[in-house]
Structure 1
Amino acid sequence: MTPDRWIVLLLGLALVAFIVWFFWLKRSRGTQAAQTGSGYQEAMILVKGGYTPDTIVVQHGKPVRLTFRREETAGCSDKVIFADFNKSADLPTGKLVSVELMPEKPGEYAFACPMGMFRGRLVVE
């Protein structure tokens, strides 16, 4: 193989590795949910090209209220599903929608849009 083909091959492999890391392997540390006077652990999540923040850290045994604000019209982002808690919520554009959960056990629980393109994690300590 010629040197220019080696360069293209190596750049292509590097790009594939970056894409795999960015979409499947990258883990953010997470945002600690705020404790409120009502006893809930609360966090606001912006839905725009994904979930921001995409990782929420909470304590087990205390109720959690996640409030979603959707600022886009992509069809996939119109719903959020918490499969481990058997809960879901419709997310109309521009509206605040709260989802209340009670995490009993420590662990990581996923939430996502129906197609799985937008993904997030609830880390229960």
Structure 2
Amino acid sequence: MGLFKRKQSKTIVVDKGYEPSEVHFKQGKEAELTFKVKTDNTCLQKVVIKDLGLEKDLFNDPDKTIQIPTDKRGEIPFACGMDMFHGKIVID
């Protein structure tokens, strides 16, 4: 039965923005999102996910993994600390 409850996992590369800038997770399945940093651009040092009340410093942990709630369908926007680079998490 544990096979059907496998955690969803996605990675976003942080370099000249977010790649990909949009990720999808299925509703109701445990999910995690990892930000893999490949830049020293200070604008991209932090990722802010206001809807989840999160602000993470990516430079202190270059492979920052965040648990994503998937109980509700919808979009969860995120941005860099300076609000210049954007992306979104979509719960389908």
Give the structure 2 partner of residue 120 of structure 1: 87
Q: 1:65 to 1:117 in 2, by over 3 A?
A: same
Greater helix percent: which structure?
1
Deviation at 1:37, TM superposition (A): 7.9
Residue in structure 1 matching 2:54, options 72, 80, 87: 87
1:102 aligns with 2:69: yes
Aligned length: 90
Q: What do you get for the CA RMSD once the two structures are aligned? A: 2.1
Where does structure 2 lack aligned partners over 5 or more consecutive residues?
Answer: none
Greater strand percent: which structure?
2
> TM-score, with normalisation over the residues of structure 2?
0.85
Where does structure 1 lack aligned partners over 5 or more consecutive residues?
Answer: 1-35
Deviation at 1:59, TM superposition (A): 1.1
Deviation at 1:115, TM superposition (A): 1.3
1:54 aligns with 2:21: yes
Q: 1:94 to 1:49 in 2, by over 3 A?
A: farther
> TM-score, with normalisation over the residues of structure 1?
0.64
List 4+ stretches of structure 1 deviating above 3 A: none
Deviation at 1:109, TM superposition (A): 1.1
Q: Which has the larger radius of gyration?
A: 1
- Structure 2 residue identity aligned to 1:98: T
- Structure 1 residue identity aligned to 2:38: E
Matches within 5 A, 1:14-93: 39-92=6-59
Deviation at 1:107, TM superposition (A): 0.8
